[in-house]
Structure 1
Amino acid sequence: MMTSLNGAIAIGTKQPLFSFGVITDVQYADIPDGRSFLGVPRYYRHSILSLQRAVTKWNQMEKLKFAVHFGDIVDGFCPKDKSRTAVLKVIKEFDKFNGPVYHMLGNHCLYNLPRSDLIDLLKIPGPHGYAYYDFSPVPDYRFVVLDGYDISTIGWPEDHPHRLEAIKYIETKNPNVEKNSPDGLTGNDRRFVMFNGGVGKEQLAWFDSVLQDASALDQKVIVCCHLPLDPAASSPESLLWNYDEVMHVIHKYNCVKVCIAGHAHKGGYVVDSHGIHHRVLEAVLECPPGSDAFGYIDVYHDQLSLVGTDRMASTEMHFSLEKIS
């Protein structure tokens, strides 16, 4: 067997328990190419072509049990009178996959449509209309999908308590008139901008109960969120507002093995002090025409193996089954 750069053992001929497709930040819009606020090129029309190639490849493999899109299905620059049409166009491409596709909310989704509409269109199976949920593809594993815009200034009705809480929160954390600007903020405090969001108290309590249950069932957990949960795997401007609170819950238990996110388009990877792997996926939106960023993950008893295509880096994530103190 070969040893990879991060010390994980290559799989060889061992068969995975199951496999699933991954892609993030399609951010489709029927508009000319543009650039991010940092000047990084963005290819709004090409992204859906890359998604089409992803679905074709996933279907050809036949072994994939499901796929996960990590948020931002359409772009914030999409003309608002065309938002629903654009979302439906991308969903139509995902529907060509021969299996279920699990979605989560990103900020660009919420720039376009109210969260209640998105939950319905994306068939997000959250309890009581929430955008967080969990599922178990096999008895040994559980996926937990967090709503990183639970506490947010976008997506909620003007007078909704979660929006009002977010406005008050960001006012105390960001002194700038333009609350999407991190100017003057230092270190991880640069995450306190309006294009990020937080996990509310009710969701945190739910998350704690899910991890408690998973621990009792001896399940291994993969946490999915549009927003990254570890500063070392992401630019500080992209972090969940209260990533520290979420990680405090995670570190109470031994069941979470991997956290996967989108949002920070260039991607990232780190293993934290508790041995949890944090993988931020590279975005489709920033793939020049002719290039791609998608992949699939083979899941084993003690390892996740991300096999990336083109600009999505392959990553071997070998984890201990013992508690790290």
Structure 2
Amino acid sequence: MGSVNGLINAQGKQPLLSFGVISDVQYADIPDGRSFLGVPRYYRHSILVLQRAVKKWNCQKAKFVMNFGDIIDGFCPKDQSLDAVMKMVKEFDNFNGPVYHMIGNHCLYNLPREKLLPLLRIHSHDGHAYYDFSPIPEYRFVILDAYDISAIGWPKDHPKTMKALKFLSEKNPNSDKNSPDGLVDLDRRFLMFNGAVGKEQLEWLDHVLLEATRSNQKVVVCCHLPLDPGASSREALLWNYDEVMNVIHRSDCVKVCLAGHDHKGGHSVDAHGIHHRVFEAALECPPGTDAFGCIDVFDDRLLLSGSGRMKSTEMIFSR
């Protein structure tokens, strides 16, 4: 009977595949600091967390790795941004298999999409960063672009930028659009460091889920921004998480939604039985500690074996 960091797989089955996960590395060659909430951040140490993660994923013979965004930090000196991203990509490339990246707000503080996406080898159309892949016939992974509609990353005069700024002006009365002051409950997500999934991407998602259903595939949806209030701080949610989940809930094929961004991590099961797991940030690991994991994929569950601050989690499918 297998044991994964304190979790037992009762069936004793071999997984269909295993893959590595890490989020919010936010490397920068600068002294340690703190978040706006006062949480310590270890900018130089985070590359060591990634190096240890890659070594362990290779030992575990993970099939692929998923980076949930924010590969470098917004405080990274802008004249070092390009080199810093390339440096981190090189570290990921030490993994013996494919690496799938997502973009986060800190990535976009440093580089525009036109430069960032090729570095992360995200092959998409018109500067978008959503895509899907199927590593085995039974499963499909869907990667969403959480900053499709965003005030960061697109050119200042881009229609998506203008749409995001108009949206924020209507939803957030503060002069600092990254401040949730005065915003109540779920409205606290309407901050500039978040974003939304646009209409075309929603239609694409609906199509992909329809195809997955026809192919009898189980789907794991991945996004830098969380999609369920039960797993996340209000301030970290995707602006239109509700619209995205309405599309997802129309299908029975989605079993799990994975995300980053909300550094403390979280786990919930929504009213439709879908698991939402938000990963703990590598950036907030004190020297010598870690936050990464390896997920074993079974027919009826995902089993996250967490290292260090990343909590192990069993996600058993209810349908």
Normalised to the residue count of structure 2, the TM-score between the two structures is 0.97
Q: Which of 275, 278, 292 is the matching residue for 1:277?
A: 275
User: What's the CA shift for 1:273?
Assistant: 0.4
User: Equivalent residue of 2:283, what SS?
Assistant: coil
Deviations 1:207-229 (A, max 9, x none): 11111111111110000000000
In structure 2, give the amino acid aligned to 1:30.
Answer: D
**Contact (CA 8 Å) 1:221, 1:255: kept in 2 or not?**
yes
Q: Which of 148, 151, 154 is the matching residue for 1:153?
A: 151
1:21 corresponding residue in structure 2: 20
1:86 corresponding residue in structure 2: 84
User: What's the CA shift for 1:125?
Assistant: 2.6
User: Equivalent residue of 1:143, what SS?
Assistant: strand
Return 5+ residue gaps in structure 2 as ranges.
Answer: none
Q: 1:295 to 1:195 in 2, by over 3 A?
A: same
User: Equivalent residue of 2:192, what SS?
Assistant: coil
User: What's the CA shift for 1:130?
Assistant: 1.9
**Contact (CA 8 Å) 1:294, 1:308: kept in 2 or not?**
yes
In structure 2, give the amino acid aligned to 1:27.
Answer: Q
User: What's the CA shift for 1:116?
Assistant: 1.5
Q: Which of 300, 304, 317 is the matching residue for 1:302?
A: 300
Q: Which of 235, 241, 244 is the matching residue for 1:243?
A: 241
Structure 1 window deviating more from structure 2 (117-126 vs 267-276): it is 117-126
Aligned mates of 2:10, 2:238 — CA distance in 1: 33
1:214 corresponding residue in structure 2: 212
What does 1:306-321 align with in structure 2 at a 5 Å threshold? 306-321=304-319
What does 1:121-270 align with in structure 2 at a 5 Å threshold? 121-270=119-268
1:288 maps onto 2:286 in alignment: yes
User: Equivalent residue of 2:220, what SS?
Assistant: strand
Deviations 1:233-288 (A, max 9, x none): 00000000000000000000000000000000000000000000000000000000
In structure 2, give the amino acid aligned to 1:277.
Answer: H
**Contact (CA 8 Å) 1:134, 1:145: kept in 2 or not?**
yes
2:30 corresponding residue in structure 1: 31
Aligned mates of 1:217, 1:59 — CA distance in 2: 31
Aligned mates of 1:192, 1:241 — CA distance in 2: 6
Structure 1 window deviating more from structure 2 (48-57 vs 124-133): it is 124-133
What does 1:49-64 align with in structure 2 at a 5 Å threshold? 49-62=48-61, 64=62
In structure 1, give the amino acid aligned to 2:222.
Answer: C
In structure 2, give the amino acid aligned to 1:57.
Answer: K
Moved over 6 A (4+): 1-4
Return 5+ residue gaps in structure 1 as ranges.
Answer: none
**Contact (CA 8 Å) 1:127, 1:133: kept in 2 or not?**
no
User: Equivalent residue of 1:198, what SS?
Assistant: coil
Aligned mates of 2:3, 2:47 — CA distance in 1: 35
Could you tell me the percent identity over the aligned residues?
70
**Contact (CA 8 Å) 2:2, 2:12: kept in 1 or not?**
no
Q: 1:3 to 1:306 in 2, by over 3 A?
A: closer
**Contact (CA 8 Å) 1:28, 1:75: kept in 2 or not?**
yes
Aligned mates of 2:162, 2:244 — CA distance in 1: 21
